[in-house]
Structure 1
Amino acid sequence: MLESQIELKNQIHEQSNKYRALMPHIAQAYEDLPKQVYGDGALKGKTKRLMAMTAALIKGCRACILYQAEEALSLGATPEEILECIGVALSLGGTLAEGESSRLIGFLEEKGII
């Protein structure tokens, strides 16, 4: 059986929270930038999250893939938009992005979205 992507995302979040508790000054500085970057501007936050998710697929960052997908969904991203982003990632990232896209597909399946 494949690992649960939701459980993996939760585990990463728990460990990140532990780090934040141990190093609050660094955690706060790190959290300030995304608050500014992902807010609505010329591009909507949803679009920015989809862009970040696509980049994460290309780079192979499993935590980023799951986190950005969750954020994009919370901002109204549709399964079709996410699937199109996978296509862009495949076009740019080749087999690495293809392998990581299975993580994202699994995540969407676990959430009952596809």
Structure 2
Amino acid sequence: MENQIALHERIHELFARYLDAMPGLDEAYHTMTSEAYKGGALDGKTKRLMAMTAAIVAGCRGCILFQTGEALALGASADEILEACAVAISLGGTMAAAETTRVVAYLEERGVLPSA
């Protein structure tokens, strides 16, 4: 499996280049996501774990890595992330289980989960 941190950084870099070329979209995108993920009845960490779960079920590798990183930045533990992965697997079956391996690799690379 490819390096998940490098993949995350490359996707982020390319999307930033895209948004630079689309200034109106850039502002709208950041306004919408800032509003969606700010704390409210649900805190930001919970929202990021929810988004990570949806990304796993949808099979969006960039979203999986981004939302996992954001959840970690907001204080999510490896155990919380892995429990959210279990929910994704219960919804998405074997395809979500396969995408969960990307989360495990990312957590290992970040030093959050000991490697086997």
Smaller-chain TM-score bracket: over 0.9
Shift of 1:95: 1.0
Partner Cα separation in structure 1 for residue 26 and residue 98 of structure 2: 30
Paired residue type of 2:25: I
Corresponding residue pairs, total = 113
Identity %: 52
Task: State how 1:10-89 maps to structure 2 within 5 Å.
Answer: 10-89=9-88
Query: Structure 1 residues 55-64 or 20-29, which shifts more?
Result: 20-29
With normalisation by structure 1, the TM-score equals 0.97
Partner Cα separation in structure 2 for residue 21 and residue 35 of structure 1: 18
Moved over 6 A (4+): none
Give unmatched runs, 5+ long, in structure 2.
none
Paired residue type of 1:9: H
Q: Secondary structure at the match of 2:112?
A: coil
Give unmatched runs, 5+ long, in structure 1.
none
Shift of 1:61: 0.5
Partner Cα separation in structure 2 for residue 87 and residue 74 of structure 1: 20
Shift of 1:96: 1.1
1:9-39, Cα deviation, whole Å (9 max, x unpaired): 0000110111111111111111111100100
**What is the aligned-residue RMSD (CA, Å)?**
0.6
Partner Cα separation in structure 1 for residue 18 and residue 27 of structure 2: 11
Shift of 1:91: 0.5
Match of 1:104 in 2: 103
